[in-house]
């Protein structure tokens, strides 16, 4: 058993408790509330921290293990190389206070197995397998022959799965189930950095979208839809997806529709800001296009917050290495876009599991019976929300009741993780 006493306990949902205590029994929480009312138990490991809160959720991760986001890297990076890099990135994420990741395409389904068997240390990963999309869409690798793309998908390196027509879409969902998917990811519009597919065009017709959502539902799987343009957002929401990813160009009528359907949004602003930070390092025409897109995306984020659509944190980091660990910057971004500090923390914690629909675990809240995924911060994030984007400020991490990060801890496996 473990006991964590804190100056402030932020439960993830509900009102913060000054002088709060969390008690962990095995893998779950047995008490979370005022220190004054906490049961006193002998022989228990105790810790004293400034702030205790639930471990955060990154609801739009990609474990690709490649040096860039270009799909060509799929073929040119040997699998063992990408696997070890992805294992390091998962470890970095956990050390940054993210005890869970919803992985929207990549090798996360395999990392889950390695983490659960204890081979590597990382967050709980709920992987999608390959992201589904139609021929010529955002899941396609347009610049290579189709046979090359299909061979690659069949080789187990399928971050992307191309399917056309209802039958093929149903089979594609089943193929993700076959490799252990716990969420289905679809690309329901084009992308912003793609060669041919346009972010304003929707992808998949209504019959295909419905077939995917219905087939996924048989296995209690939620569907997350990558959508930039309005037509794709509307079609995906009407088909019954659980989350809209990016949600870049949402207008007011569409916000009403999302509220009516109970659809959540994962805005992934971190990825937009990361590309903008590359000014001078990427071709200027790409940067200019991204800057124009970023303005629309920001308005859509503000509108989603104003409308009260449930929102979750997702960083959408596509390359290995940098900027893993800064995923929590998204929380401060939500505050800039209009959330209260408490709402932004809820987006990073309690809202996370909801993006998995029926498979949502009891996580993201400091509450009796919930998973003991708990973090300590060296300050009060209700006063300095940027602390959640800085791994140095996340001083302790418990995952499933196990202490996996302590102050001054040095990692023998990934030396770059040693505190500076
Ligand atoms: Zn993504």
Mean pLDDT to the nearest integer, 279-283: 90
Give 35-86 pLDDT, tens digit per residue. Answer: 999 998 888 899 999 999 999 999 999 999 999 877 778 778 888 999 999 9
What's the gap in Å between 355 CA and the centre of ligand 1? 15
What CATH homologous superfamily does 56-359 map to? Metal-dependent hydrolases (3.20.20.140)
What's the gap in Å between 37 CA and the centre of ligand 1? 44
Q: Which of 237-246, 288-297, 343-352, 401-410 has the lowest mean pLDDT?
A: 401-410
Query: What are the residue ranges of helices labelled H in 143-280?
Result: 146-152, 166-178, 206-218, 230-239, 252-261, 269-276
CATH of 2-55+366-417, one of 1.10.490.10, 2.30.30.140, 2.30.40.10, 3.40.50.720: 2.30.40.10
Mean pLDDT to the nearest integer, 222-239: 98
What's the gap in Å between 388 CA and the centre of ligand 1? 21
Mean pLDDT of the chain: 93
What's the gap in Å between 34 CA and the centre of ligand 1? 40
Element (H or E) spanning 184, and its range? strand 184-187
Who contacts 344 (Cβ-Cβ below 8 Å, separation ≥6)? 331, 332, 334, 335, 385
Whether 171 is catalytic is: no
What's the gap in Å between 106 CA and the centre of ligand 1? 10
Active-site choice (89, 273, 316, 373): 316
Q: Say how far apart CA 406 and CA 396 lie, in whole Å.
A: 5
Q: Which of 41-50, 149-158, 202-211, 244-253 has the lowest mean pLDDT?
A: 149-158
Handedness of CA 143, 183, 323, 121 (dihedral sign): negative
Percent of the residues in the chain that have a pLDDT greater than 90, as a whole number: 83
Same topology between domain 2-55+366-417 and domain 56-359:
no
* Domain-wise residue ranges, the chain: 2-55+366-417, 56-359
Whether 316 is catalytic is: yes
Q: How confident is the model at residue 158 (pLDDT cuts 50, 70, 90)?
A: low
What's the gap in Å between 316 CA and the centre of ligand 1? 5
What's the gap in Å between 318 CA and the centre of ligand 1? 7
Cα dihedral: 197, 202, 207, 211 (round 10):
80
Q: Which of 7, 159, 14 is nearest to 73 (CA)?
A: 159
Sheet holding 2-9, edge to edge: 28-34, 17-25, 2-9, 45-54, 374-377, 394-399, 402-405
pLDDT at 413: 47
Active-site choice (157, 185, 399, 405): 185
């Amino acid at each position: 058993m473990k006991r964590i006493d804190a100056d402030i306990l932020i439960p993830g949902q509900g009102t913060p408790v000054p002088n709060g205590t969390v008690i962990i029994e095995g893998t779950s929480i047995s008490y979370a509330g005022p220190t004054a009312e906490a049961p006193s138990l002998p022989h228990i490991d105790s810790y004293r921290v400034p702030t205790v809160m639930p471990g955060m959720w990154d609801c739009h991760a990609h474990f690709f293990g490649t040096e860039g986001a270009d799909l060509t890297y799929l073929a040119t990076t040997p699998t063992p190389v990408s696997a070890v890099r992805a294992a390091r990135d998962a470890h970095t994420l956990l050390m940054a206070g993210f005890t869970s990741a919803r992985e929207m395409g990549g090798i996360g389904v395999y990392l889950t197995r390695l983490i659960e068997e204890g081979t590597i240390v990382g967050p709980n990963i709920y992987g999608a397998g390959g992201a589904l999309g139609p021929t010529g869409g955002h899941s396609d690798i347009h610049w290579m022959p189709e046979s090359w793309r299909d061979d690659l998908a069949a080789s187990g390196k399928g971050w992307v799965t191309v399917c056309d027509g209802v039958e093929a879409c149903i089979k594609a969902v089943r193929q993700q189930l076959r490799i252990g998917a716990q969420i289905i990811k679809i690309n329901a519009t084009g992308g912003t950095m793609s060669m041919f597919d346009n972010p304003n065009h929707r992808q998949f017709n209504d019959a295909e979208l419905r077939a995917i959502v219905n087939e996924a539902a048989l296995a209690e799987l939620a569907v997350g839809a990558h959508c930039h343009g309005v037509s794709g957002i509307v079609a995906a929401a009407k088909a019954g997806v659980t989350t809209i990813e990016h949600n870049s160009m949402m207008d007011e009528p569409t916000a009403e529709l999302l509220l009516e359907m109970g659809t959540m949004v994962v805005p992934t602003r971190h990825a937009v800001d990361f590309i903008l930070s590359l000014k001078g390092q990427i071709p200027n025409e790409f940067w200019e296009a991204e800057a124009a897109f970023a303005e629309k995306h920001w308005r859509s984020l503000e509108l989603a917050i104003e409308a009260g659509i449930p929102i979750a944190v997702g960083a959408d980091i596509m390359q290995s290495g940098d900027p893993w660990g800064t995923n929590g910057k998204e929380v401060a971004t939500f505050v800039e876009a209009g959330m209260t500090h408490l709402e932004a923390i809820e987006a990073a914690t309690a809202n996370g599991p909801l993006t998995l629909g029926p498979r949502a675990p009891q996580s993201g809240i400091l509450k009796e019976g919930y998973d003991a995924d708990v973090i300590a911060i060296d300050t009060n994030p209700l006063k300095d929300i940027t602390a959640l984007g800085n791994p140095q400020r996340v001083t302790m991490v418990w995952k499933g009741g196990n202490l996996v990060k302590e102050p001054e801890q040095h990692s023998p496996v990934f030396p770059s993780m040693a505190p500076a």
